[in-house]
């Protein structure tokens, strides 16, 4: 399905019904909005692990953010966290989805955090996977060096210093495997990666974004699942998010990289229980 939101059509997909007959009773399940990581990739990877797990207790609403996957590209000038946030708020309003649980994964956590801070009453709960409130190049480069190797650190340094077609290639080849492991290769061969968007964001908003000031405005109970081996979203930056949140519980998964649930499947049950608990 695609839904008109402002000047673009956004692709949405679902897993699990909202209303479910249980014998003579009718259960109403919460809606979980999954905000995918990126920049430039789509919602699909969540259908392999997180989505089906959550569909047992909730209706899962997947969306491709503007510029991603099967949604309209929109204009490069609108490829920013404020626009993605406004798109999601409008989408939820249009579909009459009330008080969803919002899941922000990795890069998607920027938008999830901004949404929860601007509209504290909108999400009933928040789940953040490896969230950062800002991008600290020095930390990430050091983590690529430490968790990967010198070449990974160097390629990351070159890309972060000057994101271009020329530096993106070596970054994806040498650094990115330490973010995703084998799954990185699956992601890389996918034809629908929007590289221009990834470059645009890395050149622009990535350098200035700082949502630490947003965290205090968030009132939704928040569950942070954290891997300590994701060089793109380093431990110290995840800790900044946890420290800034009011109502937060954090679970660290030693050795887990960017895709926490892939590396630590035990996280799936914990997220499911957090979504289901009243």
Partner 1 sequence: MKAEVNGVELFFDVDGAKVRAGAEETRTVPTVVLVHTGPGLDHVPYKDHIGAALVDVAQVVYLDLRGCGRSDRSDPEHWNLDTWAEDLRALMDEIAVERPIVLGHGWGCYAAIHYAQRWPDHPERLVLANPSARVVPPRIVARFDELGGAEAGEAAYEYFQNPSDGSVAEFLRRCFSLLVPAGMSEVMLTPLWNLELAVHWAGGESRTVDLRPGLADIRAPTLVVCGTDDAFTPAASVREVVDGLPRVAGFREYPGARHTLFRESRQAVADVLEFVAA
Interface contacts to partner 1, rule CB under 8 A = 1-4, 9, 13-21, 24, 26, 44-45, 47-48, 51, 59, 62, 70, 94-97
DSSP 58-104: SEEEEE--TTSTTS----GGG-SHHHHHHHHHHHHHHTT--S-EEEE
Given the complex with partner 1, which of 30 and 231 has the nearer CB atom? 30
Query: In angstroms, what is the minimal distance from the CB of 58 to partner 1?
Result: 12
- How many helices (H) and strands (E) the chain has is answered by 14, 10
Among residues 19 and 255, whose Cβ is nearest to partner 1? 19
Q: Which C-beta is closer to partner 1: that of 64 or that of 200?
A: 64
Handedness of CA 97, 99, 101, 104 (dihedral sign): positive
Calpha distance 276→278 (Å, rounded) = 6
Cβ at position 123, least distance to partner 1 in Å: 17
- Strands of 138-206, DSSP E: none
What contacts 126, CB < 8 A, 6 or more positions away? 101, 102, 103, 104, 112, 116, 218, 220, 221, 222, 223
Specify the DSSP class assigned to residue 259: S
Nearer to partner 1, 71 or 80 (CB): 71
Q: Which is nearer to partner 1, 106 or 231 (CB)?
A: 106
Give min distance, CB of 65 to partner 1, in A: 15
Residue 5 CB, nearest approach to partner 1 (Å): 12
In the complex, the smallest distance separating the C-beta of residue 112 from partner 1, rounded to whole angstroms, is 20
User: Which residue carries 């009718």 as its tokens?
Assistant: 26
C-alpha closest to that of 65 among 1, 8, 16: 8
Q: Are 72 and 42 in contact (CB under 8 A)?
A: no
The alpha-carbon radius of gyration of the chain (Å, integer) is 18
CB of 167: closest distance to partner 1 in angstroms? 29
Q: Which is nearer to partner 1, 92 or 215 (CB)?
A: 92
> Smallest distance, Å, CB 269 to partner 1?
21
CB of 44 to partner 1, least distance (A): 5
Of residues 26 and 182, the one with the C-beta less far from partner 1: 26
Task: Compare residues 24 and 254 and give the one whose CB is closer to partner 1.
Answer: 24
DSSP-assigned beta bridge partners for residue 10 = 3
Q: Tell me phi and psi for residue 192, to 5 degrees.
A: -100, 15
Q: What is the C-alpha to C-alpha distance for residues 48 and 56, in angstroms, rounded to an integer?
A: 14
């Amino acid at each position: 399905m695609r839904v008109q939101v402002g000047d673009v059509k956004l692709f949405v997909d679902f897993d699990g019904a909202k209303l479910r007959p249980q014998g003579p009773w009718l259960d109403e399940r919460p809606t979980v909005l999954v905000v995918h990581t990126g920049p430039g990739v789509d919602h699909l990877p969540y259908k392999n692990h997180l989505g089906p797990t959550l569909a047992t207790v909730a209706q899962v609403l997947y969306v491709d953010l503007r510029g991603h996957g099967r949604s309209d590209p929109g204009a490069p000038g609108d490829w920013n966290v404020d626009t993605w946030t406004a798109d999601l708020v409008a989408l939820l309003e249009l579909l009459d989805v009330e008080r969803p649980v919002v899941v922000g994964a990795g890069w998607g956590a920027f938008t999830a955090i901004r949404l929860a801070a601007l509209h504290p009453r909108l999400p009933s709960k928040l789940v953040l996977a490896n969230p950062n409130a800002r991008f600290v190049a020095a930390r990430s480069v050091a983590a690529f060096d430490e968790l990967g190797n010198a070449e990974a650190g160097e390629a990351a340094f070159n890309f972060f210093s000057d994101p271009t077609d020329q530096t993106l290639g070596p970054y994806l080849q040498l650094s990115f495997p330490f973010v995703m492991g084998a799954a990185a290769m699956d992601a890389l061969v996918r034809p629908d990666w929007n590289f221009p968007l990834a470059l645009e964001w890395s050149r622009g908003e990535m350098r200035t974004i700082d949502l630490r000031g947003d965290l205090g405005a968030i009132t939704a109970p928040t569950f942070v699942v954290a891997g300590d081996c994701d060089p793109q979203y380093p431990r110290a930056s995840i800790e900044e998010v946890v420290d800034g949140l009011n109502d937060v519980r954090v679970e660290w998964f030693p050795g887990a990289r960017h895709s926490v649930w892939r590396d630590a499947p035990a996280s799936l049950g914990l997220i499911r229980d957090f979504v289901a608990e009243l």
